[in-house]
């Protein structure tokens, strides 16, 4: 299977965000750990956001926490700006069921009530279980339920995309 080039997808996503937000002086940028955080860091540097970049982890806010348990290394939340009344751009690597995004939105509301929240993702793989959609997408790419994308980055910060296939039970 030929996987999409994550650097090309990043460039497409960056260009969409650049056009949608010509004035980024008050826009809050928040990356979802870990792949979304990496993308948000690059967007922050490449597009010159005025506010510091924030980061959230969905671990404690997931609706399947009792089944999944706590992942190995949940990351601390970092929201270095006032959320109340602010437009927020959430960034994640892959959108699938929508449950991670729902968890992140719940977490974000602990910091205040934003005026607006929009979502940017590198890949939308379909398979939604909740009515959540990304406004900015690098690419739509359907996968089977036992497949998932894994985003990594090298020492220079370049993205790499792999396909993980789990046995069908």
Question: Tens-of-pLDDT digits for all 169 residues of the chain?
Answer: 689 999 999 999 999 999 999 999 999 999 999 899 999 999 999 999 999 999 999 887 766 555 555 566 777 899 999 999 999 999 999 999 999 999 999 999 999 999 999 999 999 999 999 999 999 999 999 999 899 999 999 999 899 999 999 987 6
Kindly give, in sequence order, each residue whose CB lies less than 8 Å from that of residue 71, ignoring residues fewer than 6 positions away: 59
Closest CA to 58 of 129, 110, 130: 110
Distance from C-alpha of 17 to C-alpha of 22, rounded to nearest angstrom? 8
Give all domains of the chain, ordered by start, each with its CATH number. 6-64+73-165 (3.40.50.2020)
CA 17, 11, 107: angle at the middle one, nearest 5?
Answer: 50
Percentages helix, strand, coil for the chain (3-state, rounded to 5) are 30, 25, 45
- Please tell me the pTM assigned to this model: 0.92
């Amino acid at each position: 299977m030929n996987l999409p080039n994550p650097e090309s997808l990043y460039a497409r996503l960056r260009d969409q965000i650049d056009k949608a937000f010509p004035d980024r002086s008050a826009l809050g940028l928040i990356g979802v750990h870990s792949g979304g955080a990496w993308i948000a860091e690059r967007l922050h540097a490449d597009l010159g956001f005025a506010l510091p970049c924030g980061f959230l982890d969905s671990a404690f806010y997931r609706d399947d926490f009792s089944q999944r348990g706590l992942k190995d290394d949940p990351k601390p939340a970092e929201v270095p700006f006032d959320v109340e009344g602010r437009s927020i751009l959430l960034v994640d690597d892959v959108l699938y069921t929508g449950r991670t995004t729902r968890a992140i939105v719940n977490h974000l509301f602990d910091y205040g009530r934003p005026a607006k929240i929009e979502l940017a993702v590198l890949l939308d793989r379909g398979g939604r279980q909740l009515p959540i959609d990304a406004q900015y997408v690098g690419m739509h790419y359907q996968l089977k339920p036992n497949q998932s994308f894994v985003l990594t980055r090298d020492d220079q910060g370049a993205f790499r995309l792999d396909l993980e296939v789990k046995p069908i039970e």
